[in-house]
Amino acid sequence: MPHKILFVCTGNICRSPTAEGVARGLAQRFGMAQQFEFDSAGTHGYHIGEAPDPRSVAAAKRRGFELAALRARRVTEFDFVRFDHVLAMDREHLELLQQACPREHRAKLRLFLEYGEGLAEDQVPDPYYGGPQGFEHVLDLVEAAATHLIRSLAAK
């Protein structure tokens, strides 16, 4: 059975699709793609059906990760059942997930950057209203955390 991981941010157009695409790409590079199933969603339905932010797509592509085919969706109640790990990009997302999640599945909820060993930050900042450097910073954090996530879960 593959490890099923859902990444969650607000609108599912910047941070969580970046995490999904990077994690999928890293799992492939590490020869572990068959051990994982990745998806992403938003706490809000602002952008349902939309592609990721073009700045996220471009930044990820420069590092060899593909996001263009992803489409935004909102977290559903079934996600708490289906996924083994539901990883929030920041504390606000985690709080919203905790409120929506049935009690028996709450142990699946965590901040994504809890997997980022040695990182000075524990939340992935929202790059939406900033410049290109914000998208690069998100990629730095996501690559570090996704690498450790994949390696630690594959070892189990």
**Cα–Cα dist 86/64, whole Å:** 25
Q: Which residue type occupies 28?
A: Q
- 55 in catalytic set: no
Question: What's 89's DSSP letter?
Answer: S
Q: At what angle do helices 132-154 and 54-62 cross, to 10 degrees?
A: 60
The shares of helix, strand and coil residues in the chain, as percent rounded to the nearest 5, are: 50, 15, 35
Of the residues 71, 84, 126, 140, only one is catalytic, namely 126
Of the residues 9, 53, 73, 101, only one is catalytic, namely 9
Beta carbons of 111 and 119 less than 8 angstroms apart: no
Render the burial of 102-124: b for 16+ CB within 10 Å, e for the rest: eeebeebbebbbebbeeeeeebb
- 126 in catalytic set: yes
Of the residues 15, 24, 55, 73, only one is catalytic, namely 15
Q: Tokens standing for 46?
A: 């602002």
Task: Supply the residues annotated as catalytic.
Answer: 9, 15, 126
